Chain A
């Protein structure tokens, strides 16, 4: 009898524990969800990064809901495809705010989606966390804007600061530089910032040309660069052009000491695998690579969840670039809502301005205009890439961090064609 009673008591105890554990989730399911609305590039030229960002945000959504939601409410992502076109964005945000009645708005991927959304968001006094927008709040100075690009307060100059510092640390000091930039807003701004940073370095600009987005053959560009005999070559480009520039640099046997810069593309897994050994010795900006100095808590778990999803969706298989940034945005929102305890746009913005957030990209703190308080772009050099196997890029040592000092994992190797 006592034995039977004991078994019953154990079973009741297990049931009670299960019920208590599940209770927050049940309550969260019953409550009205916190709707987080945004546009996202799911088709069009930016869709590769847009889909990768969405995948990371959905991982966060699943995790939070599994834990019982935020402040007792489940979270729900409400998003529409902006087709990589800014023209669709104002309509999407009007619908999100007026029809879907979302609680929070965030940006889609990159400047193209952020710029057209900003006036609407400002008019409605909404909190606005953005993803990879370059220097977007410098004109508006909107106090509820928070940027997810680790370029720091002076993005235009910070974007090329590491490259110039690394170049000037070479022995002997370089005397000349060639600048090749895509004819588009971001590359032009980056090139302008570079020229400012080059003042007082004594480096002479021996080639400074932009190329149109429709360029197919980059050999003439690289031959003209080679003919100018620069010590350093800085290129700022978008993915298809970056591939053309890397190939052309190898084909003409570019003999500069340091080559790379602000290229967009090498941050993506498919690009790394396609270019393989051609990337060796290139020095390129990045936001995250799997070096031990950047092994922040949670980043490995995020990538372990993301990579199988990416394989199914046919998106960036490594996920080093956009997913950690998109996920970090969500972590910051989660920490702010939990601390504030309610959805109050002003209170959330105040909290975000005053606190430091623990994220998968390390500690994040914002300045008064919502940019990262400290610049934290990294400069990596590709080393020892043997073939086109993507797995090698998951290993430390293939993308050595040269800058900044606190994350440095190796010294630069020169020249480019070594």
Chain B
């Protein structure tokens, strides 16, 4: 392939935009898996649930899908909060959360997929908004809005959640609960309450990612399968419990995938991206930004 500056810049920028969406999809998992130690393998299915809820509200009201998704965020939060209660009663309270919990979320994945299929049918759904077909250019680089909007959502969510963890007492408690529950009890905080709140936040982020995904591609009840490997890889690469690590790892994943797709061939993209994960873990097993 001939050297082409436009091609190179577009590969990097489209990778960053894609990575932005990957960050949005992974931040919720970083809270659940990285901070709470809950192996929520159904996280991508919760993203799809968010996409379908957004689709439903948007189609019924004519609202923009991003706005519809933001309106639904409290519901995603409450759903997550009460869902964690169920998980806690069934597994964590009995000290039975590792393998049984994984099996539970695996089951949940199938239950939600089949339920979505029964409710909405198996067809793909997408909301057609005029800006999803619009691109703007700066110099040689194109910016398709269907990728820009989810990336902006990711950056806004990253800023909000980082500020929450850093500057609020509850946020710091969420960051601490996975590390030392007893310490939390010493300062008079109920760890269960904090975990409920954290899992609520995790599903809130999944819902937001669902709204973003609806702009990028059509979704069907099984679309989550595409993301299972990626979100866990990004979470681990970022250092499990680090939001900053998640963002950097996601951007790295996106850029590597798109650079490989452009210059070597898309078939190599997953191999190169997951190769990076293996290499990083060999050199730095705790991930990029582990504490």
Q: Footprint of B on A, CB under 8 Å?
A: 43-45, 47-48, 50-51, 183, 209-217, 219-221, 223-224, 227-228, 239-240, 243-244, 247, 250-252, 268, 270-271, 274, 276, 278, 313-316, 388
Contact = CB atoms under 8 A, between A and B. Distances in A.
A252 B11 CA distance: 12
Contacts of B114: 43
B267 A45 contact: no
A44 B11 CA distance: 33
A264 to B, nearest CB: 12
Contacts of A239: 124, 218
| A-B residue pairs, 10 tightest by C-beta | A314-B121, A47-B122, A211-B266, A220-B261, A209-B265, A220-B262, A48-B122, A220-B258, A217-B18, A219-B14
A217 B124 contact: no
A209 B266 contact: yes
B226 interface: yes
A129 B161 CA distance: 57
Contacts of B266: 209-212, 215, 220-221
A330 B138 CA distance: 57
Interface string B266-279: 11011000000000
B147 A48 contact: no
A239 B146 CA distance: 18
Contact of B123 (A214, A216, A219, A270): A270
A211 B261 contact: yes
A45 B220 contact: yes
A282 B254 CA distance: 29
A216 B261 contact: no
Interface stretch (B1-9, B33-41, B239-247): B1-9
A51 B222 contact: no
A274 B124 contact: yes
Main secondary structure of the interface of B (DSSP, over half): helix
Contacts of B1: 224, 227-228
Contacts of B128: 274, 276, 388
B144 interface: yes
A294 to B, nearest CB: 24
Contact of B7 (A43, A217, A223, A251): A223
Nearest to B122: A47
Contacts of A219: 10, 14, 142, 144, 147, 258
Given A47-B117, A215-B269, A243 B218 contact: yes
B14 A252 contact: no
Contacts of A243: 124, 126, 217-218
Contact of A314 (B21, B120, B258, B267): B120
Contact of A240 (B11, B120, B217, B257): B217
A42 B220 CA distance: 13
Most interface-central of B1, B229, B266 (chain A CB within 10 A) = B266
Interface string B123-162: 1111010000101000000101011000000000000000
Nearest to A41: B122
Interface string B69-105: 0000000000000000000000000000000000000
B18 A216 contact: yes
Contacts of A252: 142
Nearest to A210: B267
B286 interface: no
A160 B117 CA distance: 33
A51 B258 CA distance: 36
B124 A183 contact: no
Contacts of B259: 220
B259 to A, nearest CB: 8
B11 A48 contact: no
B216 interface: yes
Contact of A214 (B2, B147, B270): B270
Contacts of B21: 216
Contacts of A48: 121-124, 220
Contacts of A271: 124, 218
A215 B4 CA distance: 23
Contacts of A244: 217
29 contacts: A43-B113, A44-B222, A45-B220, A47-B122, A48-B123, A48-B220, A183-B267, A209-B265, A214-B226, A215-B266, A215-B269, A216-B18, A217-B254, A219-B14, A219-B142, A219-B144, A219-B147, A220-B14, A220-B258, A221-B266, A223-B7, A223-B11, A227-B1, A227-B2, A228-B1, A251-B142, A270-B123, A271-B124, A315-B121
